[in-house]
């Protein structure tokens, strides 16, 4: 008996089907951490970048994120 008869054959793909690449957790984790860091930095600037915790002097950041603060329910004046 040949060994090829017992091995599973891949299912035929439909015409025009797109092969989805397999990603491991090791490939995804750095991108998830980077996205989380960007989200935290963005959240800081929208919520806390004014007053005593201000990292950037002046009122520019406050004006750039003013509407998003109100949209998210954070008071700013």
Q: What angle do CA 72, 58, 40 make, to 5 degrees?
A: 40
CB 77 within 8 A of CB 62: no
Q: Is residue 35 domain-resident? A: yes
pTM of the model: 0.59
What is the tally of structural domains in the chain? 1
Q: What is the pLDDT of residues 2-49, one digit of tens each?
A: 555 566 676 677 778 888 888 899 999 999 999 999 999 988 888 887
Domain, as residue range, for 40: 25-72
Judged against a pLDDT cut of 80, whether residue 52 lies above it is answered with: no
Q: Is residue 52 domain-resident? A: yes
Q: Is residue 60 domain-resident? A: yes
CB 48 within 8 A of CB 72: no
């Amino acid at each position: 008996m040949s060994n090829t008869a017992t091995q599973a054959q891949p299912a035929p793909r439909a015409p025009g089907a797109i092969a989805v690449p397999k990603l491991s957790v090791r490939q995804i984790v750095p991108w998830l951490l980077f996205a989380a860091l960007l989200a935290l930095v963005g959240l800081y600037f929208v919520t806390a970048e004014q007053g005593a915790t201000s990292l950037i002097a002046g009122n520019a950041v406050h004006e750039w994120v003013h509407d998003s603060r109100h949209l998210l329910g954070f008071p700013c004046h």
